[in-house]
Amino acid sequence: MLLNEEDNLDKIERKVEEAISSLRRGFSVNGGDIHFVKYSNGTVQIQLMGSFVGYPSDKKDLLLMIERQIRMLVPEVDVVEFL
């Protein structure tokens, strides 16, 4: 990987972390948390923590909300996935 590509990847990962941080504040009130795992080729992988582990019923709504926020703040992101 070229140095410029690594710098760009680092910038994107920092922006993703900032976006997740803005979500984390609201989720922590309910005992949940989100952990950034990886960014690669437009895809962000996250892990749910705390009260979100085993989140009942529709994780799709939660994922869509998280994905919308991250994509709004980090246009380089195409997809967000739960691990």
Average pLDDT over residues 51-62: 71
Q: What percent of the chain is modeled with pLDDT above 70? A: 90
Tell me whether residue 30 is exposed, middle or buried, using C-beta atoms within 10 angstroms of its C-beta: 0 to 12, 13 to 18, 19 or more: exposed
Does 58 have pLDDT greater than 80?
no
Q: Which domains does the chain have, with CATH numbers?
A: 3-82 (3.30.300.130)
Higher pLDDT, 83 or 14: 14
The dihedral built from the CA positions of residue 69, 74, 80 and 83, taken in this order, carries a sign that is negative
62 touches 80 (CB < 8 A): no
pLDDT-derived band of residue 57, with 50, 70 and 90 as boundaries? Answer: low
Q: With left for phi above 0 and alpha for psi between -120 and 50, is residue 56 left, alpha or beta?
A: beta
pTM above 0.85, yes or no: no
Mean pLDDT of 54-75: 84
